[in-house]
Amino acid sequence: MRLFSLESVIDEFEELTKDAGGHQRETLRKILEQNGEAEYLQKLGLGGRTDPESFKARVPLVTHSDLDPYIQRIANGETSPILTGKPISSISLSSGTTQGKPKFLPFNDELVQSTMQIYRTSFAFRNREYPIGNGKALQFIYSSKEVKTKGGLIATTATTNVYRTEQFKRTMKDIQSQCCSPDEVIFGSDFQQSLYCHLLCGLIYSEEVQFVFSTFAHSIVHAFRKLEQVWEELCEDIRSGVLSSRISVPSMRAAVSKLLSPNPDLADSISNKCMRLSNWYGVIPELWPNAKYVYGIMTGSMEPYLKKLKHYAGSLPLMSADYGSSESWIGANVNPSLPPELTTFAVLPNIAYFEFIPLEKHVGQEMDNSPSTIHYIEGEPIGLTEVEVGKEYEIIFTNFAGIFIVLLSLSLLVACLYRYRLGDVVRVAGFHNTTPELQFVCRRSLVLSINIDKNTEKDLQLAVEEAAKLLAEEKLEIVDFTSYVDTSNEPGHYVIFWELCSDAADDVLRCCCNCLDTSFVDAGYVSSRKVGAIGPLELRIVHKGTFHDILDHYLELGGAMNQLKTPRYVSQSNIKVLQILNMNVTACYFSTAYGM
C-alpha cells in the first residue's frame, strides 16, 4: 500500500496549477514571513511587507557574488538570522563542475519537502502511462564525502542529504521502488566499488527490476560501460556465491555478501545473454526483462550521452527526470511520453517564487567585449504566469531554503536567497493550466570566449555533434569531451579534448578538427577567425579513461557521482584537471578551415 494515492497527487497538482498566480503570491508571502527576521531583508527595509510589488521594488536581483559577506558569516558558524529566519542544519555541496570546485548550499526541511513533492508529482504522471508493480529499481545512486565547515556545519551533496532522511526512504519505497542495493552500497566510501555492487545487486534481482535510474543520464551510460568490462567477473560472483576481491570496503562487502549464494543457472543465463548481444545493443531489456523504462535527467548537458543511452536501452522508453538545482527545484516532467529531446518541465508554483527575465538574442557584432555572458537584450523581470509561449527567459527564484555557496577551501564564492539569478536559459513550450511548461535551453554563462566571440556550452555541444557525424561514418564515437581556451600564445585559440571509444585515422580526425572550427557559427568567432584574431582550433585526443580520471578527481574533492557532470570547459585556474587532460594527450590536430 502506498502512503498516498496517485490520483490525489495528480488532483493536487491540477489544483495548484489552475491558480499558479495565486500560489505564487502565497508562496512569496510565506517566504517573507518566515524570514522576516533575516538581517538581509531587514536591511532592505521591507518592513514586513510581503506583496510582489514591494518585494520587487526593494529587493535587488543577485548573482553568486553579491551575497558573499553574508555567506562567509554563516559558514563560520554565526547563528544570528542572517539570510534565513530559521537556523541551517547542514550544507549541501553542489556538483560545482563548472567552477572547478564544489559549492556549499544550506539545506533544510523545506528542500526535503519540495524534493518529495516534485518526485511524487512526476511519478504520478509517469505511472499513469507506464505503471510499475511492487518490484525493485536498479538505481545508480551514490553518496559523497561529508565535509565540515569552519563553523561546524556538515556539508555534503544535496542528493546525499535527501537520501539520508527517513522521509526520503519511505517515499522512495512508495514511488521509486526499492533500490536493489543495500544502504552500505549507496553510502559506500569508494565509488568504483559501489558501482560494481549496484550492477551485481541489479543482476541478482534481475527479474524484479521495474526500471533503471540515475540522477543524470551520464551515470547510467557510465555504469553500462563498466558492465561491458566486468560482466564476466559479475557472473563469476553469482556462480560461486563469493564476492569479488575488488570489494574491500568491509561494510559493503558484508552487506552484499549476504545477498549472494551460488546460483550457476542465473550466471549462465546472464552470460549467454551478454554473449548474444550485438555490441551491447539493448542490454538493459535483455538483462532486466521486466524493466519498463530508463529514468534520469537527459536534457541540457546530458544530451551528448543520449545516443549511447538509447543504444543500451534498445526498445525501452527513456524518460527524462525533473528540473532543479542544488538551490531549488523548478519543475516536474508531467509529460513523460515526450522523447527526451522534447522534455518539458511544469513549474510547481508553491515550491519557490519565480520571476523571468525576457531574453532576446542580440544579433550583430559585440563591442563590449564582456567575456562573462552571452549577449542578450534583457527585459524587465516578469512573473510566472506572464511568460509567453515560444520566448526565452532567464530564471530568477526566491526560495524557502536560503542558499549560499562556498568553495571547498571555505573562501566564499556564491550566495543567494532572494531574487537569485540561476543563470539558466529556458524556453516556454506551453502551459499546464496556468503554469508554464519550460524547456531547458542552456546555461547562460559562456564557456568559450577569447575576444568578441561568445559560445555557450550548447554551442560547443552542437559543434561536437556536427563533427561526431564524421566519426559515426567510421563507426566511432566520442566517449566524452571538454574544452579550453589557450591564450598562452598570441592569438589565443580554442582547444577541444576528445576521448574516443577506439582509435581513429589521422585524416578522419583532421576533418573533424576542421568541422569543429567551422561549426562555431557565432559571428564574433567567425570574423575573428577570418582576420586571424583567433588562431586555428586545436583538437586534442586523449587516452581512454582520461575522463574517468577527471571524475575521480572530483569525487576526491567531495563531489558525488549522482551530481557530477563532466565540465565542458576547463579554466586556466583548474590546474589539476588540465594536468590530467594534457598528460593523456595522444595526438593533436590544428584546423586549416580558415586557411591559416
Instruction: Report the interface residues with ligand AMP, using CB under 6 A.
Output: 94-95, 297, 299-300, 323-326, 422, 424, 440, 443, 563
Q: How far is the CB of 81 from ligand AMP (least distance, A)?
A: 24
Residue 107: beta bridge partners?
90
Contact 166, 199 (CB under 8 A): no
How far is residue 370's CA from residue 454's CA, in Å, rounded to a whole number? 9
Nearer to ligand AMP, 457 or 522 (CB): 457
**Residue 404 CA to its chain's centroid (Å):** 19
Nearer to ligand AMP, 104 or 196 (CB): 104
Cα separations in angstroms, 167 against 13, 127, 230, 323: 20, 20, 35, 21
Nearer to ligand AMP, 326 or 385 (CB): 326
Contact 341, 320 (CB under 8 A): no
**How is 375-397 classified by DSSP, letter by letter?**
-EEE---EEGGG--TT-EEEEEE
CA distance 75 to 241: 48
For ligand AMP, give the closer residue by CB, 94 or 566.
Answer: 94
Distance of alpha carbon 583 from alpha carbon 546, whole angstroms: 9
Output 202 or 296, the one with its CB closest to ligand AMP.
296
Q: Which is nearer to ligand AMP, 158 or 267 (CB)?
A: 158
CA–CA gap between residue 358 and residue 309 (Å, rounded): 34
In the complex, minimum distance from the CB of residue 440 to ligand AMP, in angstroms, rounded to a whole number: 4
Q: How far apart are CA 552 and CA 160, in angstroms?
A: 18
Q: 328 and 399 in contact (C-beta within 8 Å)?
A: yes
Question: Toward ligand AMP, which CB reaches closer, 324 or 349?
Answer: 324
Minimum CB distance to ligand AMP, residue 94 (Å): 4
Distance CA 432, CA 93 (A): 32
Nearer to ligand AMP, 481 or 594 (CB): 481
Q: Which is nearer to ligand AMP, 88 or 422 (CB)?
A: 422
Residue 80 half-sphere exposure toward CB, CA atoms < 13 A: 8
Minimal distance in Å, beta carbon 534 to ligand AMP? Answer: 27
State the CB neighbour count (10 A cutoff) for residue 568. 22
How many angstroms separate the CA atoms of 534 and 491, rounded?
A: 5
Q: Is 231 or 420 the residue whose CB approaches ligand AMP more closely?
A: 420
Of residues 205 and 397, the one with the C-beta less far from ligand AMP:
397
Whether 562 contacts 488, CB under 8 Å: no
Three-class SS state of 518: helix
Name the minimum Å distance from CB 26 to ligand AMP.
Answer: 25
151 backbone dihedrals φ, ψ, rounded to 5°: -80, 5
Q: Which residues contact 116 (CB under 8 A, 6 or more apart)?
A: 167, 168, 171
Q: Can you list the positions of beta strands (E) in 466-584? A: 478-486, 493-500, 538-542
Residue 257, φ and ψ in degrees, nearest 5: -60, -35
Residue from 376, 183, 386, 213 nearest 309 by CA: 213
Shortest CB 25 distance to ligand AMP, Å:
25
H or E segment at 441?
A: strand 435-443
Q: Return the residue nearest ligand AMP (CB atom).
A: 300
Does the bond joining 304 to the residue before it have cis omega, within 30 degrees of 0? no
Contact 317, 282 (CB under 8 A): no
Instruction: Report, in Å, the least distance between residue 472 CB and ligand AMP.
Output: 24
Q: How far apart are CA 28 and CA 535, in angstroms?
A: 50
Shortest Cβ 455–ligand AMP spacing (Å)? 17
H or E segment and range at residue 395: strand 392-399
- Cβ-Cβ contacts under 8 Å for 410 (sequence gap 6 or more): 75, 149, 150
Least distance (Å) from ligand AMP to the CB of residue 58?
26
- Could you tell me the smallest distance in angstroms from the CB atom of residue 252 to ligand AMP? 26
The CB-of-424 to ligand AMP minimum distance in angstroms stands at 5
> CB of residue 443 vs ligand AMP: minimum separation in angstroms?
5
At its nearest, how many Å lie between ligand AMP and the CB of residue 320?
A: 6
Cβ of residue 222: shortest distance to ligand AMP, in angstroms?
Answer: 17
Given the complex with ligand AMP, which of 214 and 299 has the nearer CB atom? 299
Which CB sits closer to ligand AMP, 255 or 348?
348
Closer to ligand AMP by Cβ: residue 95 or 483: 95
Rounded Cα distance, 261 and 254, in Å: 13
* Alpha-carbon dihedral 476, 202, 340, 281, rounded to 10 degrees: 30
Strands (E), 469-509: 478-486, 493-500
